[in-house]
Structures are given as C-alpha cells and as structure tokens.
Amino acid sequence: MVHKCLILFVVVLSGALQVLGQSADSLIYAEGRILNAATKEPVTARVTYQSLPYGNRVGTLNANAYSFPLFDNEKYSLIVEAPGFTTAKFLIDPSEANGNKVLKDIELSTNANGSNKHTVGNVMRLDNVIFQVGKSKLNEDSYSELDVVVNMMKENPTMVIQLEGHTDYLGDAKENLKLSQARVDAVKSYIVSKNVNKGRIKTKAFGGTQPLSRDDTPEAHRLNRRVELRILQN
C-alpha cells in the first residue's frame, strides 16, 4: 500500500512539474528599448505598465529598456515618461508575440520647439510627493519634486493646474476622501508659498475611488496613494 501511494505521489508530482514547465515555456514577455526619436540614443525614462482592463497587475521601472511578463495573456497599457520628451502611451498585445516575446522599441519625441509647454489635459503623477502615513503633512523629501512644479508654473505664467488626490481603497471611504483633500491642500499651500498665485491651482479629491491596482499588496497600495497634476490651461 505504501509503495502504491509513493508511486501515485511521484506521478502526480511529475504531472505538476510538467504543467509548471509548460506554463513557464508559454509565458510571453514584453521587451524593448527607450530611444530618442531624433538621435536613436538611449533615454532613461519612467515606464509604467498595467494589465487591462482591470489593472490587477501594475509595475514601474526607471531605465532605458524594459522587460516584463504578460501573465494570463492579458493586454497591458504602457506609459513612458522622460523629462524634455512628450509622454508616450502604447498597448502591448500578446497576440503580436514573435515566439515568446513582444518586441517594441519606444521612440520618444522632444517637446515641440524644445519648450516647456505642456498639453492641456496631460496628467503628471508626482511620485516623489510623500506624506506621513495616514496624515497630510508633507515629507521634506517631497520638496524637490514640488520645486520642479513651481518652476514649471513660473516658466508658463498662464498655466492653470489641478491637483488631484488619491488614497488606497482600504478603510473608511469618507475618511479617505477627507484625507486626499487635505493632502492636495498641503501641496497647494507649498506651491503658493513659492509665490505662485493660488487662483492658478485647483484641487480635487478622489479618495480611494480610482485605484491604479486592486492587488492587495503593499506595493499596490503604495502606488494607489498618490497626487496627480492635471494641466487645465496653458
């Protein structure tokens, strides 16, 4: 009886390993380089990828190339951002794979006329704006990124922006909405303190209603807690 159980266990284990092997072999990867469209030189950019349609899987990286797996043959959105270049958005479709790879080099174009103008409707995620957990007090590490926003607004004196606050979806919805409003108010106060007219800065709070990911992981919750800047007028 013991021998029969052992043989059965080996057979089942062998089958499981075979399935895992097939899964690994059939996994498709998205890969490509980030290039300057004019010079074809590598560009270090922030690459954000997110599975569609629900955003169950999301990730970011900073590099001049990217590689990530397309789990469950899902399509992914790809956003590539670099200072001085126009933001590029793409759809990665596993049906376009050659073998087990979807190869797509991303060529970034410089902003028109080399200016610092930003397109109305564009949304910038302020990834380095950091708050104390559960509070609206800005961490000092946030100042350098907010100073970039200040300079952008001073270089574009007709620009009007909207600061949009997001929390993760955990906890009480009303408290999350209140916290997200307090956080964008804190960001606005900092920018106004640098001699930017407060009338040029609108705010909007979303609480946890617009998560980037619904994964129940610390990384996903961190990505969901964010402040975004939308260009309303330029």
Instruction: Say whether both 134 and 202 belong to one domain.
Output: yes
Q: Which residue in the block uniquely carries the two structure tokens 């200016």? A: 115
- Residue at 13 is within a domain: no
Biggest CA-to-CA distance, the chain:
84
For residue 53, whether the previous peptide bond is cis, meaning omega lies within 30 degrees of 0, is yes
Q: Which residues pair with 62 in a beta bridge?
A: 46
The pLDDT assigned to 85 comes to: 82
For residue 76, give the CATH number of its domain.
2.60.40.10
Q: Report the b/e string of 61-87 with b at 16+ CB within 10 A.
A: eeebbbebebeeebebbbbbbbeebbb
**Is the backbone of residue 183 left (phi > 0), alpha (psi -120 to 50) or beta?**
alpha
Q: What is the pLDDT of residue 20?
A: 41
| 86 contact partners, CB below 8 Å, separation of at least 6 | 108, 109, 110, 111
Residue 201 shares a structural domain with residue 224: yes
* Residue finishing a domain among 84, 112, 140: 112
Structural domains of the chain, count: 2
Is the whole model's pTM more than 0.85, yes or no? no
The pair of three-digit structure tokens given for residue 18, joined into one six-digit string? 């075979």
Write down the mean pLDDT value for the chain: 82
**With a cut of 70, which residues of the chain have pLDDT below it?**
1-25, 54-55, 111-118
In the prediction, which pLDDT does 118 show?
Answer: 67
pLDDT of 10 reads 39
Burial 104-130 (b: 16+ CB within 10 A, else e): bebbbeeeeeeeeebeeeeebbbbebe
